[in-house]
């Protein structure tokens, strides 16, 4: 089990995560990426628990502003 966390507020909407891992990421109406099916926390972060990290590992490394964390 893994948890993906995105600091949505600080996303710059570059689209890298969407290109690398479109199964999990898409650009939302606010121009920033969202994690499909994620829960929005009180601080604005998006969180999603998944069985397999899969392509999300690449997104954590590639995000230019490091707003994606995998625990
Ligand atoms: S790679 Fe990072 S900054 Fe770029 S859209 Fe995804 S979460 Fe936002």
- CATH no. for residue 42? 3.30.70.20
Strands 39-40 and 25-27: unpaired
Q: Which of 55, 65, 66 to mutate to test the pocket of ligand 1 (most atoms within 8 A of CB)?
A: 65
Partners of 18 in the β-ladder: none
What are the E-state strand segments in the chain? 2-6, 25-27, 33-35, 39-40, 46-50, 68-70
Instruction: Report the distance separating Cα 2 and Cα 5, nearest Å.
Output: 10
Tens of pLDDT, residue by residue over 45-62, are: 999 999 999 999 899 999
Confidence band of 25 (pLDDT split at 50, 70, 90) = very high
Instruction: Report the distance separating Cα 41 and Cα 15, nearest Å.
Output: 22
Percent of the chain with pLDDT over 90: 99
**Integer Rg of the chain from CA:** 11
- Name the domain count of the chain: 1
pLDDT at 36 over 90: yes
Can you give the residue range of the structural domain that contains 63? 2-70
Q: Which of 5, 63, 64 to mutate to test the pocket of ligand 1 (most atoms within 8 A of CB)?
A: 63
Report pTM: 0.95
């Amino acid at each position: 089990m893994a948890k993906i966390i995105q600091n949505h507020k600080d996303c710059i909407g570059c689209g890298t995560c969407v290109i690398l891992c479109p199964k999990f990421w898409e650009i939302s109406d606010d121009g920033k990426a969202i994690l499909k099916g994620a829960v929005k926390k009180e601080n604005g972060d998006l969180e999603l628990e998944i069985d397999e990290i899969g392509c999300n590992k690449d997104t954590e490394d590639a995000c230019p502003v490091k707003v994606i964390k995998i625990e």
